Structure 1
């Protein structure tokens, strides 16, 4: 993450060794490994969990179908 984000989330900054190791790994992956022949979609990965039958947007979340606040019952 950028230094400003690390400061905002009060996270420790990585050491110089960690930063150098990540840059070296990135260079290795970019230049030494060949690109994939075919695309890899999320549904092909075993660690990506999803609903096998699909879902509807209305069924997601924890929000009630109606307003939970009782209107008109306020006492003056």
Structure 2
């Protein structure tokens, strides 16, 4: 028997990169950084579906850079 939480998760899209890994944006506390990274991942998926594999890969790299920069900025704030 399926639980109601299973049904809720099924309907919700989990942010994943081209390799099926979960996005690190979910661990980034800054909402703006998280939104930007997820937008880039969606753009990457659209590029991939359009047959633009190399462009899609570059957009994925940009999403990773946003996540890493966001994490570094958050860490710098904690160090101050």
TM-score bracket for the superposition, by shorter chain length: under 0.3
Where relative contact order (Cα < 8 A, 6+ residues apart) is larger, the structure is 2
TM-score, normalisation: structure 1: 0.27
TM-score, normalisation: structure 2: 0.26
| Higher percent of residues as helix | 2
